[in-house]
Chain A
């Protein structure tokens, strides 16, 4: 089976600094993969490189088909005369020139996507007036309408409450079940633990990737960070903590997202 995404040893330099170094992994169709790392670890940079916005200084990205992208945030004026349904439709024909005649087939397709993401109740509201979770659904419908083989999402759970986050994850799980590879970035892996079957963990500009239980381990993450890391499991949550001896000789514990 050809992979939906193959990243081979890419390095990316931004402003003279190497942000990613020799990052490689691959995703099969239907994979649900978390891209985990602290703020500034290079999650957005990696997604932008996969999209082709940023050229890697080394390595190669191969795609198995169309890519859907859900950006980190929408910056929209709440007065914009664009309803949620108009925004979803732009995913289909936003790049087309020509008179914008309405079409029944297109409207039916938009309707289908709106119900797939449970967005029908607010489909006629201005997109700028929607809540973060509602906008997230509309963005996902917008990305899915072209039937991509790979869906990239940049921190879709940031700013969502627990329930909205769980709903988005369930929705993405359904998407993956249809054979779309899903790569979702987050600074906290815990909300994704049950859903994801793969993980790409970024630290120090490098990545560790594989099955979640093979990567989120003391030895693997310590090697990645370059100093001792403890992986602690408490009540189905995973805490990644750095243990170090502070100036006064007693143990410091700092949680790393």
Chain B
């Protein structure tokens, strides 16, 4: 599994795990689980449309994911009921399926995009992966304190001039590009688990903010590497392993905390 042609897959998996472990810490801290679930679904048709138009799939994914951020901001302001939001998400999945069937490579592509297939990663995926693997952690670290403060006590943060809405938008934007790069690897339905699983496990293992962020990143890396190796060995989709390993990490961490005094 360390053949030269696998090198791209290892690099992309590592970079995606760096970004997802870091973004996931804030997803859990800021209670943004819903956005982390919704944005990859909104991005899904973008990959299919990019395929139809013959452009790199990252651009399609990123445009649709950022469109999803605008949609979430609007839904929040308009205080739409949950039902409307859920319907929009299902419609996005349907739209993606339509684009894929138009492009004539329906079943394989749907499978890979919904459930993740890291073995399909190629050289074209490297630049965006480097972009988010380095850019997302750096920006999040620069905003570490304001993102934490405004998540814990929005009122107090506002007295110090922090705009909750502005920080939300910045964070969701980072989440969108992270989802766009992670989606082909973990799958539209499972990207969410790579973000939330390691972060939720980390906070059961350590109590202080920076160490929790560190543990979240390390767990995300371990899960991504293990998922890649297992996908290679078994031929099953990598997203399946990302999902189950994330859930297992969380359960193990909870159990550890429960059992330790």
Contact = CB atoms under 8 A, between A and B. Distances in A.
Contacts of B210: 100
Interface residues of A, number: 30
Interface in B6-36: 29, 31
A96 B145 contact: yes
Contact of A81 (B153, B157, B208): B208
Interface in B183-238: 200, 202-204, 206-212
A53 B158 contact: yes
Contact of B153 (A67, A71, A93): A71
Contacts of B145: 90, 93-98, 100
B149 interface: yes
Interface in B21-77: 29, 31
Interface string A115-127: 0000000001110
B142 A98 contact: yes
A83 interface: yes
B102 interface: no
Contacts of B143: 97
B104 interface: no
Contact of B160 (A74, A87, A95, A126): A95
Interface residues of B, number: 31
Residue with the highest number of chain A CB atoms closer than 10 Å, among B148, B158, B212: B148
Nearest to B149: A94
Residue with the highest number of chain A CB atoms closer than 10 Å, among B29, B160, B204: B160
Contacts of B204: 79
Contacts of A171: none
18 contacts: A53-B159, A80-B152, A80-B203, A81-B29, A81-B206, A81-B208, A82-B152, A83-B207, A83-B208, A94-B156, A94-B157, A95-B145, A95-B161, A95-B162, A96-B145, A96-B146, A97-B143, A99-B141
Given A90-B148, A100-B145, 8 more contacts: A52-B159, A81-B212, A82-B148, A93-B145, A94-B160, A97-B142, A97-B145, A97-B146
The 10 closest A-B CB pairs, nearest first, are A94-B149, A81-B212, A95-B160, A81-B203, A100-B144, A90-B149, A79-B203, A94-B145, A126-B207, A83-B207
